[in-house]
């Protein structure tokens, strides 16, 4: 808990707000996976660097107080898809939370933000709660809503997480298809055709009507 106290002091300084105004952790910080980001907090210089890259400092501080952001040196796999603690490469760490649980931690290059390494490979997006909100609005409340898809984690941070960043399109496609026609997916200019093509992979089941006699036999 001493680490949490030091963090709170740092984020209070950044926020200029009383400590009680800070949000709490997004997930159970006692798990083995959570310790890998909790033990690697983003320091003040890291906050300043993200601000220089266009990320709101207050938002960074809020993520820090939620144990959802960190930084450290990691060892990347040969293909760059996975990471292990303790290595030569400096990376920004972001928590991937789903339904209040930590599913993954991604390691992101701030100079090449499309280069994302995953720790576990679970969890399909950043901003899962935004996806849940869109799903609830469309399916339960039957309202038309929009869901922003950011192209990479840095843009997601710049956008204050007001949408999702897809980390695994193979896992994401059935989830996005399940949103239905009341949800409009918003993306950057030039990305729409690719996302539409991905959503069409596999297609939809065809529907055919049987003639009355065949229908009765099938019943």
Give the DSSP per-residue string, the chain: -HHHHHHHHHHHHHHTS-GGGS---SS-TTSHHHHHHHTSB--HHHHHHHHHTT--HHHHHHHHHTT-EEEEEEEE-TTSSBEEES-SEEEEEEEEEETTEEEEEEEE-SSSTT-EEESS----EE-HHHHHHHHIIIIIS---EEEEEESSHHHHHHTTTSSEEES-HHHHHHHHHTT-TTEEEE--TT-HHHHHHHHHTT------PPPHHHHHHH-
Q: Is the pTM of this model over 0.95?
A: no
Q: What is the pLDDT of residues 116-156, one digit of tens each?
A: 999 999 999 999 999 999 999 998 888 999 999 999 999 99
Lowest mean pLDDT among 13-22, 47-56, 108-117, 148-157: 13-22
pLDDT the model gives residue 5: 43
Residue 44 confidence (pLDDT) above 70 = yes
């Amino acid at each position: 808990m001493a680490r949490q106290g030091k963090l709170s002091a740092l984020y209070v300084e950044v926020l200029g707000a009383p400590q009680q105004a800070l949000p709490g952790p997004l997930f159970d910080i006692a798990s083995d996976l959570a310790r890998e980001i909790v033990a690697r907090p983003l320091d003040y210089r890291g906050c300043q660097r993200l601000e220089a890259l266009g990320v709101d400092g207050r938002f960074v501080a809020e993520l820090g107080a939620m144990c959802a952001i960190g930084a450290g040196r990691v060892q990347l796999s040969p293909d760059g898809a996975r990471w292990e603690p303790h290595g030569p490469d400096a990376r920004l760490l972001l928590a991937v939370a789903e339904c209040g649980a930590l599913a993954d931690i991604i390691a992101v290059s701030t100079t090449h933000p499309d280069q994302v390494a995953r720790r576990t490979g679970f969890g399909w997006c950043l901003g899962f709660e935004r996806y849940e909100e869109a799903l609830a609005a469309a399916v339960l409340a039957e309202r038309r809503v929009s869901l922003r898809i950011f192209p990479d984690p840095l843009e997601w941070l710049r956008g204050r997480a007001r949408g999702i960043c897809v980390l695994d399109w193979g896992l994401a496609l059935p989830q996005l298809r399940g949103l239905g026609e009341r949800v409009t997916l918003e993306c950057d200019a030039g990305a729409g055709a690719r996302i539409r093509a991905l959503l069409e992979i596999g297609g939809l089941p065809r529907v055919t009507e049987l003639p009355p006699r065949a229908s009765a036999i099938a019943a």
